[in-house]
Amino acid sequence: MPTKTFRFFAEAKDFAKQHAPAKVLREGGHFVVAWEARAEVDPDPVGDREVKVLREELHAARQDRERLIRRNGRLQDQLNITEQELSALQATWHEDFKVQVEATIESCKEQKRKLKQRAEQLESQTDQECTRLRSEREEAEKKKSAYQNKYKELVEEYQFIIRSLKDRFGEFRVLDEVKEHQERFFCSRCGGDGNDGNCPKCDGTGWEERIVFDKSKKLETDANRN
Ligand SMILES: [Zn+2]
């Protein structure tokens, strides 16, 4: 507890008033004031001018804050609108994309169905063609076999005839023989009218002679061999 000593009671009393609660004690010829020390709380630690400035600054800061809050509100509204628009766009985009994908899938399915149908058609055609070719081949084999038999028969018949003829008439051979003879044709120059007796090729006769060759077979026997 702090104390202060005064010479006169009036002074001590004034001081004690200012520092109430305080006690005034008498010590010898002096007066001692003892008071309770309290944490000094200055209700107005700064001067009026500074308070005014601070208040103005506080006021400006509050206004700034209000403005910022309003601006934030407006921005929030804009953000909400933008989010709604985005959401709508996404929904539309999803819908469009879905429609496109579904169309593509349908188109692929249709293509696949057509290809499958075509493959089945081709397979069926191939089967038919194979069957037809097999049948034609069998037919051809039969014909070939029949011709071979016929040929064999003819050869045997021919050999039999040859043998019979040789038994009866002796050895003989069949030879190729070429004979020639003359034949009359219309003149190749005047066409046969003789050009009024003036055609130099046919001397106006309208005819010309030409040698014609004939190929034939000739039987050569021991009797007629040269
Ligand atoms: Zn002539």
**pLDDT, tens digit, 9 for 90 and up, residues 26-48:** 888 899 998 887 655 555 555 77
Ligand 1 centroid, distance to 209 Cα (angstroms) = 11
Q: Using the predicted structure, report yes or no on whether residue 14 has a pLDDT greater than 70.
A: yes
Ligand 1 centroid, distance to 194 Cα (angstroms) = 5
Q: Using the predicted structure, report yes or no on whether residue 108 has a pLDDT greater than 80.
A: yes
Separation in Å, CA 150 to CA 141, 147, 158: 14, 5, 12
Mean pLDDT lowest among 43-57, 68-82, 104-118: 43-57
Amino acid identity, position 25:
L
Ligand 1 centroid, distance to 15 Cα (angstroms) = 183
Helix (H, G, I), strand (E, B) or coil at 53: helix
- Residue 122 tokens read as 């081709």
**Cβ neighbours for 201, distance < 8 A, ≥ 6 positions apart:** 187, 188, 189, 190, 208
Ligand 1 centroid, distance to 183 Cα (angstroms) = 15
With beta carbons less than 8 A apart as the criterion, state whether 204 and 197 touch. yes
Percent of the chain exceeding pLDDT 90 equals 63
Return the DSSP state at 102: H
Q: Using the predicted structure, report yes or no on whether residue 106 has a pLDDT greater than 80.
A: yes
Torsion of CA 189, 191, 192, 193, to 10 degrees: -90
Which pLDDT belongs to residue 171? 87
